[in-house]
Structure 1
Amino acid sequence: MIWLAVLALAVWIGLLAARNGFWLARERDEALFPVPVHWPKVTAIVPARDEADVIARAIGSIAAQDYPGDLQIILVDDGSSDGTAEIARSLGAPNLRILPGTPLPRGWTGKLWAMEQGRIAAGEDPQYLWFTDADIVHAPDTLRMLTSRAVAERLTLHTLMAELRCDSPAERALVPAFVFFFQMLYPFAAVNRPASRIAGAAGGCMLADRAALARVGGLQTIAAALIDDCAMGRAMKRQGPIRLSLTRRSVSIRPYGGWRDIGRMIARSAYAQLGYSPLALAGTLIGMALIYLAPPALTLFAHGLPRWLGLAAWALMALSFQPMLRFYRRSPLWGWALPSIAAFYAGATFVSAWDHWRGKGGMWKGRAQAQLQP
């Protein structure tokens, strides 16, 4: 038991000291950058499938950008049956184009195929393509900030991790941890460092250099990727520097609902993150038990030195969660609940694998998209 306690504590010391400071949540979009000599032309591309409840606010926020340059908007309607396109058209935005999506080809996920159609329709005129989800609402200065930094730093991809909805009891308990775990996998500081091999992105808001994206073959190269944003981050970082930041400018307005709904959201792509490998799944579940469950178990049930080492590991775990809790305006006491939250995520990860084995992996908008994966 002493060795288990020592190992758990060592893991948390290592995570806090050597994982690029992922837990500090310092990578923000708050810096100011020089105004470009010429504001580049941008085309916003919004893939949408049955988004009637959110599309008006999302498109409205794009149309209301105080961007000094030329901004065009393409809404790619991916076979919606709820009047999504009609609602968007009723806004009367003069720079909005509605593009009816074509049938999904074999080997593509639905969102990426819609994005690719928008990319092709935009042509070679815009310097940047702004891919943004149909459930994201942007502050008026979002595009101005994205492009000014992209121009100043010659970024091939500039993405923002949208602030997720955190209203229901399940959302308040689970959503901050979603971003915390994402940062653990893809430390933003490492993503933003050109010399680092770590690459990632947040799919809700991505400003891509059109020419750089064309050089990698468009979205064809990642057509079947279920975690499409991080796949795009890897592809674009091979072309030049990328940046990923936390933001309050871009906000998700989609309600994630209750515990079951959030569990299904996690399960949609968790097994894909593990490369659909049963060995990786087993290793992940064992690792999560060591990292998250062993410290509180030792604290509550062990005696002597193992108990104190377990408590120290649990305290470091709670400490690491504090910056993200502050970002989402949650009580610092939630830090002590991270073991229970991690157990929920571990369960959703197993469900993700189970769904894949049943041929229902990556289910989204009626499509079991993980079946496309090798």
Structure 2
Amino acid sequence: MSAPHPENSLNALGLMSGTSLDGVDAAIIRTNGTTITAHGPALTLPYPAELRRRLRELLDNAPGLQPDNADLKAVEHALTQVHVQAVQQLRQMAPHMPVDVIGFHGQTILHQPGRTWQIGDAAYLSHQTNLPVVHDFRSADVAAGGEGAPLVPLYHAALLHNRPAPVAVLNLGGVANLSLITRHGQIIACDTGPGNALLDDWASQHTGTPCDTDGQLAALGTVNAQVLEHLLAHPFFQQPAPKSLDRLSFHNALAHLAGLSAADGAATLVAFTVQAIARTPLPETPLEWFVCGGGRHNPTLMDALTKALPGAVYPAEHLGWNGDALEAECFGFLAIRSLAGLPLSLPTTTGVPSPQTGGRLTCMGITPWRRWFQTVPTHGFSSPT
């Protein structure tokens, strides 16, 4: 297939709020949904401490919440207001890249087999920014029988199109996930286990800080091998890809650390994250791993990954990427794919029976640029079944 003409590309502003609950990542890319023409600026807008606390309460209580719950609606509005601010600030930073569409992931408050729930008011976001908004990226996949996550693999594949395979991207957010591109161009993905979530919660409980800054606490500790092996005995780690997790899927793991010092508990949690990745059943061993997400800022975690994983381990910046912006860029990319009717997920990334489109459009009205999507090719990626 010949490359789509650059004139078929649009400027998409992607928004992502991950399970670490630390704030909104926003980034602009120029893309046609198969290739990336340009990377624009990016920013992170932290959540106020009170909003972060209320979001965490929602996560803890989400299984019993009703969609019309008053507290839920109030938090959703506050969350969307921060997203509006992120859009406004980023547009001011990029007058040379006027935004055509927003890709709005929202905030996941629950992710279970057969159910995924993201909050965020797309209509309010569209009204406040006067831009079309693509949102609700996961529901169609879940309704079709998929896991609904992870959704970043197609973007990773687009970024890695010229790297020797097998090659992997590892995202260390609240939950860790990986995308593997095989020698034959197949895209295989899954959540691997906890990323930063458990370590963040442990650090908060024992030091009063929201994370283990620079891995200093874990660096002082010793891994408790018995506790580690007990945690890794969970049946999730023997399951083949694709598979996915909720942020709180392993929250009860903290109870098994009772009696450990703050430092030893942190060291054991770092080893838990790393060994879960290293033991993930994969059909091919990556030659290179490119690490993105907040976890790559933790030197103790990165050092442990380098020692445990076969192949070379690099931060995303090794390829000139912005490792803090990749997921936000991804949802800009997926917004364009959604409008073009291209798949957002594959059987080998979410377990959906066949390549699945998704996302919903909310906008002030039909705009002329939508005619562009009639020209977009629909076979930009292989779709193994």
Give yes or no for TM over 0.5: no
For Structure 1 versus Structure 2, the TM-score category normalised by the shorter chain is: under 0.3
**How high is the TM-score relative to the length of structure 2?**
0.26
More helix by share: 1
| TM-score, length of structure 1 as denominator length | 0.27
Bigger radius of gyration: 1
Determine which structure has the larger strand proportion and give its number.
2
